[in-house]
Amino acid sequence: MRIVAISNQKGGVGKTTTALNLAACLSQLGVRVLLVDLDPQANATSGLGLAQEEGGSIYSALVEGADPRQAIRSTRLPNLSIIRSHQELAGCEIELAQSGNHLGRLKDVLTPLRESGHFDYAILDTPPSLGVLMTGALAAADELLVPIQCEYFGLEGLSKIVSVVQQIRDCGANPNLVLEGIVMTMYDSRANLANQVVNDVRNYFAEICYQTVIPRTVRLGEAPSFGKSIIEYEYSGRGAQAYRALAEEFLARRSGAAQAAAAEESPAPAEAAAA
């Protein structure tokens, strides 16, 4: 199981929308996904039409040592499971900060899930802050996916998250954390600034910026109020098409990386013949 954190310390950039809909679209492609809602606001939880329930979040596992597998719930979507959030996670920030291993605690909690073989990916929806839950998610993740809004302040937020990633690596909490991708969200093709931001990000982060751009649509904003992912709410709409394309690109990038790694490990034809 690969752990992917969807993070940005800036709010209102489409972070939860991306976590929820990427997870939903991956599940539609047959990928076994666990969505972990780490935000005390529980927007990913309500966005799938699920109720908050005290004791139903990952809080007990983080603070009390409970088995995280007991918090997993299925959803309407085949292949998609979730660990819901609850406002009790807000208190978790304080309790973990007082512990001796607050950065590594979430990683330890997710280890049994990683080793179970029940899921292909765990997608962590993190709070829009630089608190313990977000940094703990970065310490636990194999990869980081950063959604940024196609506006000037989005560029400022991106520079900060890149700095945080480097700090997580340098302090030894997660030296192998990979900034895997940047997803441009809330894109309005009619706005010159939006086009400029997309071009700037692609120039500076050419290798990791996703080609798929998520448009600004009314339906993407409406879907959570009905407790549905965008593919359930408006399957053929622009938002659903964009997130399906993002899911396909997400998998294609990993397939390409795996093939490249296999090629590097295999001997060259001449070397193989000589052997």
Helices (H), 98-237: 105-116, 132-140, 152-170, 192-204, 218-222, 230-233
Please give the pLDDT value at position 267: 60
More confident residue, 27 or 152: 27
pTM of the full structure: 0.89
* pLDDT surpasses 60 at 213: yes
As a whole number, the mean pLDDT across the chain is: 88
Please give the pLDDT value at position 38: 95
HSE-CB of 266 using CA atoms within 13 angstroms: 10
Mean pLDDT value of segment 200-204: 85
The one-letter code for the residue type at 215 is: P
Contact between residue 142 and residue 2 where contact means Cβ atoms under 8 Å apart: yes
- Domain ranges, residue 105: 2-274
- Domains identified in the chain, total number: 1
Contact between residue 82 and residue 42 where contact means Cβ atoms under 8 Å apart: no
Contact between residue 79 and residue 33 where contact means Cβ atoms under 8 Å apart: yes
More confident residue, 34 or 9: 34
Please give the pLDDT value at position 272: 47
Please give the pLDDT value at position 275: 45
Question: Looking at residue 60, what DSSP letter applies?
Answer: I
Please give the pLDDT value at position 54: 82
* pLDDT surpasses 70 at 265: no
Please give the pLDDT value at position 260: 56
pLDDT digit string, tens, across residues 101-145: 788 899 999 999 999 899 999 999 999 888 889 999 999 999 999
d(CA 203, CA 194): 14
If you average pLDDT over each of 14-23, 46-55, 61-70, 156-165, which comes out highest?
A: 14-23
Please give the pLDDT value at position 77: 96
Say what percent of the chain tops pLDDT 70: 92
Confidence of residue 239 (pLDDT cuts 50, 70, 90): very high
More confident residue, 231 or 207: 231
CATH of the domain at 63: 3.40.50.300
Q: Is 40 buried (19+), middle (13-18) or exposed (0-12) by CB count in 10 A? A: buried
* pLDDT surpasses 60 at 66: yes
Please give the pLDDT value at position 102: 80
d(CA 61, CA 55): 10
Q: Which of 38-47, 71-80, 128-137, 173-182 has the lowest mean pLDDT?
A: 128-137
pLDDT digit string, tens, across residues 150-194: 877 777 778 888 889 999 999 999 999 999 999 999 988 887 888
Mean pLDDT value of segment 203-232: 93
